[in-house]
Structures are given as C-alpha cells and as structure tokens.
Structure 1
Amino acid sequence: MNLGARLLIVLAGLSGALGVALSAAAAHITGGNLTTAAQFLLFHAPALLALAALIATGSVHPTLAQVAGYVLVLGLALFCGDLSRRAFAGMALFPRAAPTGGILLMLGWVLVALAALLRLRG
C-alpha cells in the first residue's frame, strides 16, 4: 500500500476519534438518546469490516489494528449499551459507562491511525 493510502487511513482514524468526541458533546447538549446509540453502531459496523480487510491485506500493523478493533467493540458495548439501557429502562448500565465507552471509542480510532503509521516501517 502506498504512502497516500496509509495517510488516508490515518486521517480516517483521526476523523473517527473526533467524530466520537463531537457526537458525545452533542449527546450531552441534547440529552442523548437511542438514536445516538443506533447511529454509532451503524457507523462503526462498516468501519470494523474495513479494519478487518485492512488487516487481511497487510495495510496496517496487524496486532495493533486488531487491538484497535476490539477496543472499538468494547467502547461500542459500553457507550451504546448505556444509552440503550437509559432509553429502555430509565437507568444507567453502570456509573460512567457511556463516558468510558466514548473514551475507548476515541482511543480505538487513534489506534487505527497508529496501526497505519507503524505499518510504514514494514
């Protein structure tokens, strides 16, 4: 994979991290709801598929990219799980579940970017 394509992966990772941060800010401003959880799941599903494809083609550092994917999944479970439970049951998954999930999502996206950068050495 050429440098330009890897740079796009890095920028996608940074865009994902910033998108999560801005979505979290918007959820706090509007109160957050089930729509936010659904959108996060729908947006991250193809991203996880793409990450698996990038790993399979050797376009990213395989171990770091796999860790990034699992961090994204854990972040989704906490963030979306908390928003969903609040919507359906009126109570949190556990204290600070959504912010912890959001931080993990941002970290996952940064790890995607790093996986592309570290692959440059190979």
Structure 2
Amino acid sequence: MRVSPWFGAVGAWLAGASVALAAYASHGVEGEARERLMLAAVFAFGHGLAAAAIAPQASRRAARFSLALLLIGVALFSGSLVAAQFFGTPTRFAPLGGTLLMLGWLVLGIDRVRR
C-alpha cells in the first residue's frame, strides 16, 4: 500500500518551519523563552526530517502508524512549548507529545525488525 504523500510533505514543512523558529529564538527572545523555543525547534526539525525521510518507505501499516505518532507527538510537544511562549498557555500537552514521540519510535523499530 502506498503511503500518503502528506506524511513526507508535512515532515518537510515542519523541518522548514523549525528553522524559522530557531532563528526567532536566537534573535527575538532571551532566557527561558529562548531555551523553550530552541527545544521546540530542535524536536520539530529532527522529527520533521525523519518523517520526510521515512515516509517514502512506509509501506506497512505499522510504519504509517509510527509516522502519524511522530507528527502528532511533535505537534503536541513543540506546539505546547511554542504556545506557552506566544499565548501564555500551560505546557500540559508536552508530556503527551513526548510520550507519543517515544511510542512512534518504538513502533517504527518494531516495524523495521519485522521486515
């Protein structure tokens, strides 16, 4: 089964947006805000790049599920950190996002072993 091209596209866009976020963090804020936004950018870049690279080979259901977990997880993790900075919201979704990221990598590893 062919994987949706959206997984790779969203991963690429996420990696690109993370570069802008890192630039803003480097030049637009200081202190804890800088650290929080840089962490969000690092996670968004790494997982966006991974999704863009993994998507073309994600032919099995488990691999596609792992991509969904990674993208949802990074949206919750990084998004929670960014929203806290820009809107003053609590970072309550960051732990759930981090858990989904770990689960996504676990599922991908299991899929790779089963190939």
5+ residue gaps, structure 2, are 1-31
Q: Select the structure with the greater relative contact order (CA < 8 A; seq sep ≥ 6).
A: 1
- Alignment length (residue pairs): 83
- Offset at 1:49? 1.4
Asked if 1 retains the 8 angstrom alpha-carbon contact of 2:40 and 2:78, the reply is: yes
Give the superposed CA RMSD: 1.8
In 1, the alpha carbon distance for the partners of 2:78 and 2:71 equals 10
TM-superposed deviation, 1:42: 0.8
1:108 maps onto 2:111 in alignment: no
Shift of 1:51: 1.2
* Aligned pairs for 1:1-122 within 5 A: 33-55=36-58, 62-92=60-90, 96-119=92-115
Secondary structure of 1:83's partner?
helix
Question: For structure 1, which runs of at least 5 residues remain unmatched after alignment?
Answer: 1-29, 57-61
Q: Which amino acid aligns with 1:115?
A: D
Q: CA deviation at 1:88?
A: 1.0
- Seq. identity, %: 36
